[in-house]
Structure 1
């Protein structure tokens, strides 16, 4: 089984970088088995094509405008994800939607895709998320770990 955890976002724009912060924290806190590949995708979705193609599971962490309270975490799967791409939901969304579109066109789509989107508060220039969104980072990481557990991947916390 091949599993990819992809964090996307621009860490220079405050809450926009939450997906990248999530995968960084995931790797800091957890020992991940060899079948789990963690990728900091930044803002360049198309550059990740080879790494995510034909994965059994793709878990994406990103910021996502969903007209909910800032910091709200939304889980999307399957057909829900392309539906959200009909309107722009994050500043780098063109890269992510282009990547998914290219994978689909070439028949290389991951078998299962889950997107965890965090409602942003700000896209101001800052390398740190706002306190509202940063407070949700531990839950976002735990939800990724929970998704891994749900597909049968044992993930252990690193020793302190």
Structure 2
């Protein structure tokens, strides 16, 4: 049985996983074909999330891995939610960051090195609340109910030189 498209009620459902994966693959291809000129964007004043490509080091392979994510800004830090299509399992990129917290991000304005950590306690609560003000995530409470557990909030701070 396939899952219906997203609805707006508290019984929110998700598109089938194969559709989500197809959209992700198309976005990555668009970035590759256009040399990052189309597909990345900065957060806007009208509360739209930005889009970045996060480049991590594979925890087992040691190879570079890339994923496209939405993000918001918190000062000079970038903040994203560690979702796996709202699947209960943590996404591979989060597992990679736990093993190798130094990574790189490609933004509409260029690339930079970052140091990752998972927000906890009051920091997580504050950052989680910020996501409710942004367009693009829909009903976070309903979607996170699909996970069955707390969704990690990941903070990407500018990497220290040296």
| Richer in helix (by share) | 1
Q: Same fold per TM (> 0.5)?
A: no
TM (norm. structure 1) is 0.31
| Richer in strand (by share) | 2
User: Using CA pairs below 8 Å that are at least 6 residues apart, which structure has the higher relative contact order?
Assistant: 1
> Which is higher, the Rg of structure 1 or of structure 2?
2
